[in-house]
Each structure stands twice: as C-alpha cells, then as structure tokens.
Structure 1
Amino acid sequence: MIRAPALRIPHPLALLAVAFAALSLGGCGVNNIPTYEQSAKAAWSEVLSQYKRRSDLIPNLVETVKGFADQERKVLTDVTEARAKAVSVQVPADILTNPDAMKKFQDAQNTLGGALRQLLAVVERYPDIKSGQNFLALQSQIEGTENRIAIARRDYIQAVRQYNTEITTFPGRLWKTVLYPSAQEMATFDIPAEEQKTPKVDFGTSK
C-alpha cells in the first residue's frame, strides 16, 4: 500500500521569518525609526543654523548702537559677553542624546536672547539710533531671525517627540529591539510659554 507523503510542519523560525517579512511588506512602520531620526536631525541642523545667524548679526548691531549713554553701556557688555559664551559652548557629536549637553547649549542661547532683548529695549530711548538706516536694516534681519528661531525650535521639538514616541511605544519598540538596538531617546528643551508665540520685535515704528 502506498502511503501519502507526510505533511511537513514549518519550523518556528521559518514561520517567524515569513511573518516578519509580511509585516514589513505590509507597511507596519519598520522604517519609521530611521525616518523620524533623520527628520529630527535635520530639524536640529536648522536650529543651529538660525542661532548662528543671530550670533552673526550681533556684532553689527552692537556697532550700530554705540551711542548709548555711559550708564547704559552695560547692556552692550552683557550682549557681547553672552554672545562670546554662546559661541564658545562646544556642541558634542552626541548632543541629541545627551540631555546635559543640550541644557548647557540652550542655557547659553537663552542668556544671549535675554541680553539681546534688553539691548533692543534700551534702543527705544534713542530715537536717533533707532531711526538710522543701519539700525533699520538690522531691525528687519533680527525680527526675521527671531521668527525663524522660534519656528526651528518648534519643529525640532515636534520631530523629537515623534521619534521618542516611536521607539518607546508598540510596534516601534519592537522594531527598536530587533533592528535598531542602538536607537536612543533624543534630548529636547522646554520653551517658556511667552516664547511659544512667534516673537515680534517692536522698535516703536509700528502704528
């Protein structure tokens, strides 16, 4: 009597491989982690670019407002020193996964931003300075840069939130364990409530 061929039971690992391939092809987010990571890194590069742009504008601004009275020259010193400190802060390669380095960087930038706002407030007392052509040109550049900084920081925070959520929730957590074990949560920073609105630098020229 001829026996029917015995059915072969698939090996568990083979089943796992098939299931894994099916899930991958099914678009279940296997590529989300590297995609979100690159988006966050691109957003961070934009943050750095806008901070650098602001820093580059400050020497020209300080030169333009040198007509301050002696008792108010401290604001020039504060801005110059804050800029020097911000520029001197080293940005390590691992800053995006190093909360301490991120905080140090942001503290320096926040100090510079505060000193710059104080300087611009003092300019209000000097009509001749704030109506000069050089200052008016810087007015437009500074306002645009502050707007871009706010937008860049917002975009970075959102990108990091998306990435961190992906690697700590299912199924992203599974993909991290299996395919991206080196993925780490990225550091972000808090923006005070008053800074969450798009900043408007008022030089007393608006009606």
Structure 2
Amino acid sequence: MNLKRITGLLAVAGVALSLVACDVNRIPTQEEAAKASWSEVQNQYQRRSDLVGNLVATVQGAAIAERGTLTEVVEARAKATSVNVDASTISDPAKFQQFQQAQDGMSSALGRLMVVVEKYPELKSQQGFITLQSQLEGTENRIAIARKDYNASAQTYNTTLRSFPQNILAGTIHSGSKPMEYFKAAPGSDQAPKVDFSGVAPQSDTAASQ
C-alpha cells in the first residue's frame, strides 16, 4: 500500500472519528438543554405558587361569601407544592403526569376564584389586588412559554435518541438516557386561566350593602 493511499485512509478515519465525537456529545448536550428548560418551568410554577399565597392572604381579609372556592385554591396550592419533583420526573410518565395534574388543578381552582372575585369590586379596587393581577398574568404567560420551550427541547432530544447512529450510542455509551415526557393541554382547557379584575362597574355603597 503506497503512502498516498495510507494518507487518504487516515484522513477518512479522522473525519469518521470527528463525526462520532460529535454524535457522542450530541445526546448529553441536548439532554442538558432540555433539563435547563425544565428548570425554568419549575421556576415559573414556583413563582405562581408564591403569588397565589399572597392572593389567598389578600382574599382572606375580604368579606366574601364563597369561602369554599378560596379553600379549593388553598388545597390545590398545597397539593401542587407537595408533589415530589426530582431529576427522574421528566423521564417518568407517572411522576410527570402527577406533577402536571397538580399544577393544572391549581390553575383550575385559581380560575374559579377569579370568577368569584368579579362579584366584589371593592376587593378588586385594592392596589394590592391590582398588582397581583399584573404579576399573575405575566406569570401565566411565562409558564406557557416555559412549557412550550421545554416541549421543544424534549422533542429534539427524544428525536436524537431514536435517530441513527445516536440510537446505538444511547444503548451503549449513554445507556442511562431515557425519552422525556411532554406537557399536554389539560382536558377541556385551551388556554391558561386569565386573571382579569377590570370591566366590572363598581357598586354603590347602598348596592354593596344589600
């Protein structure tokens, strides 16, 4: 075998090794990107939980009749924060479903509370409530974006695990790599609950006392 042929084979081998190296790194790189997106989802849900705690404290100080709805929010928040979330959650269908159901439950309870609040313009006119309105609306939007970004990252990662030659690497070098779960729309819900305290005319003192 002449030197020119040997040089050519070495060049081809070098290119092949470079491609393999890229494939070896692709799975952990995409996995870390998806985990980072997942962390942002958790951060935004935690922010909402904190805001809901302030909301509950504000509503508890008001004389509203529908206390059962407020209790539902308190219970839903407690359930959402009690769900154990660890590194395995995003690749464990049961854990992931439990997490999403708990968060969707709080969304639903919060939405019902906002309907109740519409009956109490004196509560809605409080500056604290107005501030919470803006913060909750912003957080719901950030949750939707964070979930969308996570789903996109998880889809990229899951597709890589199923593609050649990464699927071979996933079964050997990255044997612990597992597909990640996706967020799904809650049954009967096309959008996040809207927190809107505007649009209701204030009642007169006489009407409010009746």
> TM-score normalised to the size of structure 1?
0.82
> Does structure 2 retain, via aligned residues, the 8 Å contact 1:157–1:188?
yes
CA, structure 1 residues 92+30, in 2 after alignment: closer, same or farther (shift >3 Å)? closer
> Does structure 1 retain, via aligned residues, the 8 Å contact 2:158–2:180?
yes
For residue 121 of structure 1, what is the aligned residue in structure 2?
Answer: 115
Match runs of 1:169-180 below 5 Å: 169-180=163-174
Amino acid in the other structure paired with 2:171: T
1:178: Cα distance to partner?
Answer: 4.5
Determine which of 29, 33, 56 is the counterpart of 1:35.
29
> Does structure 1 retain, via aligned residues, the 8 Å contact 2:107–2:192?
no
1:205: Cα distance to partner?
Answer: 4.5
What is the Cα-based RMSD across aligned positions, in Å?
Answer: 2.8
Cα distance between partner residues in 1 of 2:198 and 2:134: 13
Q: Does 1:155 align with 2:149?
A: yes
CA, structure 1 residues 193+107, in 2 after alignment: closer, same or farther (shift >3 Å)? closer
Moved over 3 A (4+): 14-20, 192-200
For residue 207 of structure 2, what is the aligned residue in structure 1?
Answer: none
| Runs of 5+ consecutive residues of structure 2 not aligned to the other structure | 201-210
Q: Does 1:106 align with 2:100?
A: yes
Cα distance between partner residues in 2 of 1:140 and 1:98: 34
CA-to-aligned-CA distance 1:126-179 (integer Å, 9 cap, x gap): 111111101001011101110111101111111101100110122322332353
For residue 93 of structure 1, what is the aligned residue in structure 2?
Answer: 87
Deviates further, 41-50 or 170-179? 170-179
CA, structure 1 residues 193+169, in 2 after alignment: closer, same or farther (shift >3 Å)? farther
For residue 161 of structure 2, what is the aligned residue in structure 1?
Answer: 167
1:180: Cα distance to partner?
Answer: 1.7
Q: Does 1:69 align with 2:64?
A: yes
For residue 21 of structure 1, what is the aligned residue in structure 2?
Answer: 17
| Runs of 5+ consecutive residues of structure 1 not aligned to the other structure | 1-5
> Does structure 2 retain, via aligned residues, the 8 Å contact 1:79–1:112?
yes
Cα distance between partner residues in 1 of 2:78 and 2:164: 45
> Does structure 1 retain, via aligned residues, the 8 Å contact 2:154–2:182?
yes
Q: Does 1:201 align with 2:176?
A: no
> Does structure 1 retain, via aligned residues, the 8 Å contact 2:31–2:157?
yes
Amino acid in the other structure paired with 2:138: G
Aligned residues: 195
